[in-house]
Structure 1
Amino acid sequence: MSRITPPPEWAPHKAVWIGFPSHPDLWLEDLDPAREEVVAFARAVHADGKGERVLLVAADEEAARAAKALAGDAAQVVVEPFGDIWLRDTAAIVTGDGHARDFRFNGWGGKYDLPGDDDIGLRLAERRHIRTETCDWILEGGAIDGDGTGLVVTTEQCLLNPNRNPGLSRTEIEARLAEDLGYSEVIWLGDGLMHDHTDGHVDNLARFVAPGKLAIPEPDDNDPNWLVYQNAARDAGRHDVEIVRIPSPGRVLRDEEIIPASYMNFYIGNAAVVVPQYGAANDAAAVEAIQALFPDRHVVGLHADAILTGGGSFHCISQQIPA
């Protein structure tokens, strides 16, 4: 592993930033349910002190009071203005040298331009006295997933999208991933999930669970993403990696529309792995399959329906600080 390569998510964490829903005009009737789901996630990661320190990030004092009332001793509340809670994409990426890389952010290709999202990563890192280097190209944390050896997986739909870095070729992006994050080999998958407003973030599609071991969903009956999953397994299979298949939630509808529900948006903490649940038939099977991959941690499934109304799940709202 290069000194600048981010440690894999299963490596020890010093702490984790978790975004706390703060803006009623964005969340509407889902604000309170989303707050409850976020705090349940924070408690599971904290694991009664056996996990890592949880830093709940609230955008204002009202949200901070709500966060403290719900979380109690399970989290420290930090107040920093932001647009929304998706800190996987907006917080800085802390690397193996103990420093951080903060990338430009353009609201997922110009879809959601919210005040504070463009510099929340730098401000959070400064609060932790983490030396931070600013990288002059657009990259969201949910668009990549590494195994700690220099291997990283991503999707063409996101990283090659002209709404991110239109002047950069595939070769140039690979060079920047190597220079800024120490990644020596890139596994390029094709498209991400249907109706994913991030343009195919890989943390909904494929996740490393050990060095050289990549988890990809197994299509369920009537699965709207069946071809996406099969193509991902085919593309990853061209590399020297072991592929394990995880049950998919299948077709999940909200207001009669297919939503990008995925068990792959799990978070790997020091003591627990937290898997989003959707009231789907494979909820329990997914937790069981992921538990088999992490025998040294407690794998827990928690509902993420309200969080998903904002477009993501547990992995999307968190960014770990490696030990």
Structure 2
Amino acid sequence: MPVSFIPAEWAPHRAMWVGWPSHAELWEDNLDQAQAEVEALVRALAGPGREDVRLMVGRPDALADAQARFADVAGVEVVDGLFGDIWLRDTGPIFGAGSASAHAFRFNGWGGKYDYPHDGEVADQIGQASGVALTRHDFVLEGGALDHDGAGTVLTTRQCLLNRNRNGDWTEDKASAALAQAIGARKVLWLGDGLLNDHTDGHVDNLARFVAPGVVACSIAWGRGDPNDEVYDAVARDLSAMTDADGNALTVLRLPSPGFVGDADEKPVPASHMNFLIANGAVIVPTYGDDRAANLACQGLQTVYPDREIIPLPSLAILTGGGSFHCISQQEPA
């Protein structure tokens, strides 16, 4: 039986999974603010005519608080689960067309860097809760390492997918063959490096995203001292020379990056407007303190989503854990 394509994220969803910050020992002083940022995301997703949200809580002692927070929000189901942390995009399954199937992969803590209890069980829990049988594939893959156009074109980075800390013998050909067999990829588009200090080893959902058939959004440096200036330009050059699985040239939509965002020691962290989440009726864009850059990024996304509300929301506390809105979510296609 032929494998169907993974739907594009802008296709309709029947539900959206979101991870709830549940472990005080991981988030430390950022826990309260991270929960506030995720609460704002969930409330935006659950707006009228948007998503049925399945909010997964990762430990029993965080369940009652999450239930109380969302007791007044229609369309939010709080799911009692177990995970190491909230990055469901990477630990959960990738759903196929109509959520008739879901694909589960081996997870090794982003190349062995973060080995948390229960992260390897997340796909099983989501599959069971959603009522979708899992198809298992015997290779390491995180969902944030891929982006899909809905017609069999897959976007990824060599830094992540060919990293020896995932599947040690993979070449471009071996990886492309594995993705063709597993998720019906007709063509894999290879970018180089991801963002500086990205502990995922360059996930593409922080770098470049399909936003419409044949259209890929990527960043352009903003302000002085943007640490990813050269990476952004390399991505745009590479994309402008690529074609999709049907042979059509890609259109590149460049949006302002957040500029330099540093941690407490002023070390650059991988802040990205590309970690937006496309929802039914809305696009939720993470922001990091520069309102002008965020506004321009939102204006650019509005040009490709004129019928969706573009909603900027803060994500600085979530970023202290290493990602943003796209990283903590996973859609079930309708």
With the length of structure 2 as denominator, give the TM-score of the two structures. Answer: 0.94
1:36-75 matches, cutoff 5 A: 36-47=36-47, 49-72=48-71, 73-74=73-74, 75=76
CA distance in 2, matches of 1:122, 1:93: 12
Q: Is 2:302 the counterpart of 1:291?
A: yes
Amino acid at match of 1:14: R
Structure 2 SS opposite 1:232: helix
Aligned to 1:144: 146
The one-letter amino acid of 2:17's match is: W
Amino acid at match of 2:124: L
Give the SS at the match of 2:253.
strand
3-state SS, counterpart of residue 8 of structure 1: coil
Could you say what secondary structure the match of 1:296 adopts?
Answer: coil
Q: Which structure 2 residues correspond to residues 1-323 of structure 1 after superposition, within 5 A?
A: 4-47=4-47, 49-72=48-71, 73-74=73-74, 75-96=76-97, 98-221=100-223, 222-239=225-242, 240-255=249-264, 256-280=266-290, 281-323=292-334
User: 1:70, 1:266 → 2: CA distance?
Assistant: 24
Distance 1:319 1:128 in 2: 12
> Structure 1 vs Structure 2: percent identity of aligned residues?
49
The alpha carbon displacement at 1:287 in A equals: 1.5
- The more displaced of 189-198 and 55-64 is 55-64
Shift of 1:70: 1.8
Shift of residue 131, structure 1, vs aligned partner? 1.4
What displacement does 1:202 show? 0.3
More moved, 266-275 vs 88-97: 88-97
Following superposition, the deviation at residue 297 of structure 1 comes to 0.5
- Contact preservation (8 Å) 2:216, 2:250: yes
Q: Is the 8 A contact 2:3 2:183 kept in 1?
A: no
Superposition deviation, residue 285 in structure 1: 1.4
RMSD: 1.1
Shift in Å at residue 32 of structure 1?
Answer: 1.1
Unaligned runs of 5+ in 2: 243-248
How many Å apart are 1:62 and its aligned residue?
A: 2.3
Residue 3 of structure 1: how far off its partner (Å): 5.0
Contact 1:3/1:96 (<8 A) preserved: no
In 2, the alpha carbon distance for the partners of 1:174 and 1:119 equals 26
TM-score normalized with structure 1 length: 0.97
Q: Secondary structure at the match of 1:40?
A: helix
Q: For the Cα contact (< 8 Å) 1:4–1:180, is it kept in 2?
A: no
Q: What's the CA shift for 1:253?
A: 1.6
In structure 1, give the amino acid aligned to 2:180: A
User: Which stretches in structure 1 are left out of the alignment for 5+ residues?
Assistant: none
After superposition, give the CA deviation of every residue in 1:224-274 in whole Å (9 maximum; x if it has no partner). Answer: 101111111111122121111111111112211111000000000001110
